[in-house]
Amino acid sequence: MNKPSYPHPLIAREGWPFLAGILVISILVTIGWPGLSIIFWLLSLFVLQFFRDPARVAPDGELAVLSPADGRIVAVEEVRDPYADRDAIKISVFMNVFNVHSNRSPVKGTVSHVEYFPGKFFNAALDKASLENERNAMVLRTPEGHVVTAVQVAGLIAKRILCYAKPRDALYAGQRYGFIRFGSRVDVYLPPGSRPRVAIGDKVRATSTTLADLPATVSETQD
């Protein structure tokens, strides 16, 4: 097994302003209106759990595709990858508000391009969310030459997609590259011949769960 994928605080930096704000409000309410304070302290606990960001250990395997997010598998299907313009196998992970929402790179690779698409805010568990919701696509090329696309998709109440990766960045498998606030999904598009290791309904954990294995050889369509 590898070491934890990256050093980081246990509470994601993206949540620090929210947590500080709700804690201040909770303290003020406790001082002025003790009877109402339980509501705000419960809200503080919700914010704390939402922005938790635990370290994870990635399994070994150069061809392993790691889950980019915590959540539940809602799609494993053959589709067209519109971001890399190729046939692909799509595996989708749906995150509810109780899941960890930091996103990790599914593979080791170099970022070919990153593109943001404005859109709607349908329930992220629905199939149409993949192509109609607000989203951010990152296309990676692995050292072996495989093309893997990871797409952050906003959900019903998700209003902010954060992606820190830029073209030509070199990411390692499990590296933190983004965050989505308040319910969403991540779609991973893999080359044909990849072998899924999860099924619809499975619960997965970012970095520590292997979604699939890439093919041993690179097809001509990926060159």
Residue corresponding to tokens 């149409």: 128
Cα radius of gyration (the chain): 18
What the block records as the tokens of 199 is 């099924």
The vertex-125 CA angle with 47 and 135, nearest 5°, equals 75
CA distance 48 to 195: 36
120 secondary structure, DSSP code: B
Catalytic residue selected from 102, 184, 194, 208? 184
Instruction: Please tell me what DSSP assigns to residue 131.
Output: H
Of the candidates 85, 213, 61, 182, the residue with the CA atom closest to the CA atom of residue 137: 85
184 is catalytic: yes
Which amino acid is it at 180?
A: I
Rounded to an integer, what distance in angstroms lies between the CA atom of residue 28 and that of residue 145? 56
The catalytic site residues sit at 184
